[in-house]
């Protein structure tokens, strides 16, 4: 079983590594974007899929690190690596604040609370004009010279994303990750077993925020621009939808979700300006026919076939 | 009969050609000058300014259709993309137009934040970017870029200056401003406040309302209490409609004098309004109700094609297309030489635009216009339009200052409005 995992991972990685040879420069930059959003979606999946708490504020956490990095490098004139550290730190810090306020809730209350907290970040970035540039945002290239080409940036993003994915995979499969799953299945039972449920959710949230912050750093490299639209609700929703379409609680499903959604966005908008409607229908269809997501559904079908073969 | 060696040669050649063509996208091929000129037009077709976005496309296409989509022997191909009124989406679309659709230039966008995002992108690759509506001052002032040119556009602080001067001439001394709280509003208000206070006027108070303000009554009550001689109103789109309606509903229309920015009484706003939008005073370079052969013809063409009077968005992109056509003629269709083409774009002296007068750019890439003080009146067919009541010839983005002195002061923001302390 474990061997099979390795084979799959190696295959996917090889395919991703060979990708730039098969596609054009623009498509490579799209692929880079997919990897970045896959990291964001995976960080959301830690909470939504493993701890059973669906957040709608991760776009804001993600954007905080983008803001901090671009501000630190372009406006304050600081060094890139310090900027990256500060950016991730700021995102993790934001996640701590969010977590401290939201861990005692669950279900729809957790969703709404994280949504509201995300909106606060959006409001601040919109109104704190002297620092964030308000509506206009902050512009400036932060990525180092050697990442200037699409292909180099793609490989850099691929390496970082792969390392992050590995770290997240280790995290959710660690004994600590199992306690998160336990909390998802039954909070009261976990409490009865002597686990400090709020503390575990808090740590899960902060770790998830750290990874969202890493994705935000990659986004700053990729976009060279940040504005309130980077931290707005749309971003949080996009990340969550990617996790859901790919399959919640599957971690790597997020990559599939991100590929599917970004591809559709770009393909459909070539043909119609009503592309958001097409996306909407796709979500509805996914929810009706594959509520466990694409990866979840595929696993289910495979398992069914296997059980039919060896009854 | 084909022997084995010949077969190998033939297949080898075929494979080589197919390999060569499939390499195509990676190698930036110098495209043949006989192909069409591809223009990437970005407009917000969804989102908060979708109505304006549609008029961008209408105005731009109208001109190309009139010239048969062919200039200086080259076909014109316009590729339209929706920027979603969102800077991240705009960036994405700009990348796609340049890197996948291989456009020669980018044109368009409405909101300043989308334009600034695209400007950052073209800064890196030198693709010419033309902005008939993006009014952010900085793009033709302190942070100007060689390949970003404001053809047929205007900078934000340029148009409110004549209206401030006009206000002073009416004897107004105490003014209040109300403006949308974002860069375009800050810059427009700054232009008004600086000119008004340096001419001896006084700004009693400034109100900044968030975009999409549904209810202006708190502001209206405060404005009433301040008893100003005049109110300068900088609102666009739906905010402008709501302000004009609520101002009239409050019964203030006959009590307090108001000077509007150009967007507030633009066709895109007054088209849907009734008597509450009559007799409003504003300042702008485009005045659809000005009796002039070139203007009348444009109005007739536009109304015939789209069954409505043109707004600033339609007008600017129509003239923008005209400007580009003029530049294409000047380089004989050889637009591939970007440096030369940009030089010629800057050198264009545009005649025959709906403005009826030759328009040219200043040394910083911003047009110089005759500005009009306009008044909204009802036409015989019941529609409202803006007619000129006074004019200010040759108004540039620096007003009466030397460019160097002007750019030495900080850019306008909510905290810096250029107000002269008396």
Name all domains of chain B by residue range, CATH numbers in brackets: 37-155+292-368 (3.40.50.2300), 160-290+370-408 (3.40.50.2300)
Q: For the whole model, what pTM was predicted? A: 0.82
Interface probe for A, chosen from B51, B100, B148, B236 (most Cβ of A below 10 Å), is B100
For residue B34, the surrounding DSSP H or E stretch is none
With beta carbons under 8 A apart, name residues in chain A contacting B96: 26, 266
Q: What is the largest CA-CA distance in chain A?
A: 68
- pLDDT for residue A311: 57
* CA A247/CA B355 separation, integer angstroms: 58
The answer to whether residue B51 neighbours chain A at the CB level (below 8 Å) is: no
With beta carbons under 8 A apart, name residues in chain B contacting A23: 25
Q: DSSP secondary-structure letter at B205?
A: E
Asked if A276's CB is within 8 angstroms of B46's CB, the reply is: yes
* CA B294/CA B352 separation, integer angstroms: 6
Q: DSSP secondary-structure letter at B97?
A: I
A281 lies in which domain range? 2-309
- pLDDT for residue B24: 39
Looking at chain B from residue 8 to 27, which residues have their Cβ under 8 Å from any Cβ of chain A?
25-26
Looking at chain A from residue 15 to 34, which residues have their Cβ under 8 Å from any Cβ of chain B?
23-27, 29, 33
- Is residue A65 within 8 A of residue A91, CB to CB? The reply is yes
Mean pLDDT of chain B: 86
Q: How many CA atoms lie within 13 A of A251 on its CB side?
A: 19
- pLDDT for residue A34: 94
- Is residue B355 within 8 A of residue B294, CB to CB? The reply is yes
Query: Which residues in chain A land under pLDDT 70?
Result: 1-2, 310-311
Interface probe for A, chosen from B103, B114, B116, B138 (most Cβ of A below 10 Å), is B116
Phi, psi of A231 (to 5 degrees): -105, 5
The answer to whether residue B86 neighbours chain A at the CB level (below 8 Å) is: yes
pLDDT at B164 over 50: yes
Choose among A27, A141, A223: nearest Cβ to B88: A223
Angle between helices B293-306 and B312-330 (to 10 degrees): 110
pLDDT at B23 over 50: no
Higher pLDDT, A258 or B211: A258
How much is the ipTM here? 0.79
Higher pLDDT, B375 or B24: B375
> Residue B254: which pLDDT band, with cuts at 50, 70 and 90?
confident
- Is residue A44 within 8 A of residue A244, CB to CB? The reply is no
> Residue B26: which pLDDT band, with cuts at 50, 70 and 90?
very low
By C-alpha distance, the chain B residue nearest A24 is: B25
> Residue B210: which pLDDT band, with cuts at 50, 70 and 90?
confident
- pLDDT for residue B31: 44
Q: For strand B174-180 and strand B129-130, is the pairing parallel, antiparallel, or unpaired?
A: unpaired
> Residue B182: which pLDDT band, with cuts at 50, 70 and 90?
confident
- pLDDT for residue B125: 86
pLDDT at B3 over 80: no
- Is residue B96 within 8 A of residue B57, CB to CB? The reply is no
What residues pair up with B350 in beta bridges, in sequence order? B359
pLDDT at B306 over 80: yes
Structural domain tally of chain A?
1
* CA B266/CA B270 separation, integer angstroms: 6
**Which CATH number characterizes residue A302's domain?**
1.10.3470
Tens of pLDDT, residues B40-93: 999 998 877 888 889 999 999 999 999 998 888 899 999 999 888 888 889 989
Asked if A269's CB is within 8 angstroms of B183's CB, the reply is: no
Tens of pLDDT, residues A2-25: 577 788 888 888 988 888 888 888
pLDDT at B35 over 90: no
> Nearest C-alpha of chain B: how many angstroms from A273?
7
């Amino acid at each position: 079983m474990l061997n099979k995992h390795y084979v799959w991972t190696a295959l996917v990685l090889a395919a991703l590594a060979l990708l730039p040879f098969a596609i054009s420069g623009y498509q490579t930059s799209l692929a880079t974007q997919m990897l970045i959003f896959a990291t964001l979606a995976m960080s959301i999946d830690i909470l939504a899929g493993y701890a059973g708490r669906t957040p709608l504020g991760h776009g804001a956490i993600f954007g905080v690190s983008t803001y901090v990095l671009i501000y630190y490098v372009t406006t304050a004139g600081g060094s890139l690596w310090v900027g990256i550290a500060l950016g991730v730190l700021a995102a993790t810090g934001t996640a701590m604040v969010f977590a401290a306020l939201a861990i005692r809730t669950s279900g729809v209350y957790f969703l709404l609370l994280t949504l509201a907290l995300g909106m606060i970040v959006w409001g601040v970035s919109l109104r704190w004009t002297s620092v964030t540039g308000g509506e206009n945002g902050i512009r400036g290239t932060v990525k180092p010279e050697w990442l200037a080409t699409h292909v180099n940036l793609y490989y850099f993003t691929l390496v970082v994303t792969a390392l992050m994915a590995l770290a997240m995979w280790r995290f959710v499969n660690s004994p600590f990750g199992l306690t998160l799953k336990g909390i998802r299945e039954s909070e009261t039972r976990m409490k009865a077993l002597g686990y400090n449920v709020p503390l575990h959710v808090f740590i899960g949230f902060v770790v998830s925020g750290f990874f969202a912050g890493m994705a935000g750093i990659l986004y700053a490299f990729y976009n060279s621009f940040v504005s309130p639209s980077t931290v707005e609700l749309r971003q949080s929703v996009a990340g969550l939808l990617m996790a859901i379409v790919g399959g919640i609680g599957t971690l790597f499903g997020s990559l599939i979700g991100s590929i599917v959604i970004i591809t559709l966005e770009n393909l459909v908008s070539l043909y119609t300006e009503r592309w958001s409607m097409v996306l909407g229908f796709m979500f509805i269809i996914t929810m009706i026919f594959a509520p466990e997501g694409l990866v979840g559904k595929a696993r289910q079908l495979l398992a069914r076939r296997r059980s039919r073969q060896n009854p | 009969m084909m022997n084995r060696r010949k077969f190998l040669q033939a297949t080898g050649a075929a494979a080589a050609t197919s390999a060569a063509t499939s390499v195509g996208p990676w190698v930036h091929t110098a495209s043949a000058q006989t192909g069409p000129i591809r223009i990437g037009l970005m407009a917000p077709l969804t989102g908060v300014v979708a109505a304006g976005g549609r008029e961008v496309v209408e105005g731009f296409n109208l001109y190309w259709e009139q010239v048969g989509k062919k200039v200086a022997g080259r076909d014109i191909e316009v590729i339209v993309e929706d920027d979603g009124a969102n800077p991240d989406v705009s960036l994405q679309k700009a990348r796609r137009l340049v890197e996948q659709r291989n456009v020669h230039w980018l044109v368009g966008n409405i909101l300043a934040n989308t334009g600034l995002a695209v400007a950052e992108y073209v800064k890196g690759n030198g693709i010419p970017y033309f902005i008939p509506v993006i009014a952010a001052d900085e793009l033709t002032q302190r942070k100007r870029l060689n390949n970003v040119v404001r053809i047929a556009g205007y900078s934000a602080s340029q148009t409110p200056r004549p209206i401030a001067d006009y206000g002073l001439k009416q004897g107004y001394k105490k003014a209040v401003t109300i403006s949308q709280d974002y860069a375009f509003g800050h810059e427009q208000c700054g232009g008004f406040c600086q000119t008004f206070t340096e001419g001896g006027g006084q700004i009693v108070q400034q109100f900044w309302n968030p975009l999409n303000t549904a209810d202006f009554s708190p502001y209206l009550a405060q404005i009433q209490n301040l008893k100003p001689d005049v109110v300068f109103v900088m609102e666009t789109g739906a905010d402008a409609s709501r302000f004009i309606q609520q101002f009239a509903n409050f019964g203030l229309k006959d009590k307090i004098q108001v000077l509007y920015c150009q967007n507030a009484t633009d066709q895109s706003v007054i088209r849907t309004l009734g008597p509450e939008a009559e007799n409003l005073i504003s300042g702008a370079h485009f005045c659809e109700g000005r009796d002039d052969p070139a203007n009348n013809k444009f109005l007739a063409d536009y109304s015939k094609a789209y069954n409505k009077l043109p707004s600033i968005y339609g007008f600017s992109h129509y003239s923008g297309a005209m400007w580009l056509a003029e530049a294409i003629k000047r380089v004989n269709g050889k637009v591939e030489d970007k440096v030369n083409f940009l030089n010629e774009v800057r050198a264009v002296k545009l005649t025959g635009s709906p403005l009826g007068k030759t328009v040219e750019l200043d040394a910083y890439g911003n047009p110089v216009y005759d500005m009009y003080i306009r008044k909204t009146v009802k036409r015989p067919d019941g529609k409202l339009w803006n007619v000129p009541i006074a004019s200010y010839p040759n108004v540039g983005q620096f007003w009466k200052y030397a460019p160097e002195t002007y750019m030495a002061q900080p850019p306008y923001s909510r905290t810096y409005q250029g107000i002269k302390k008396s």
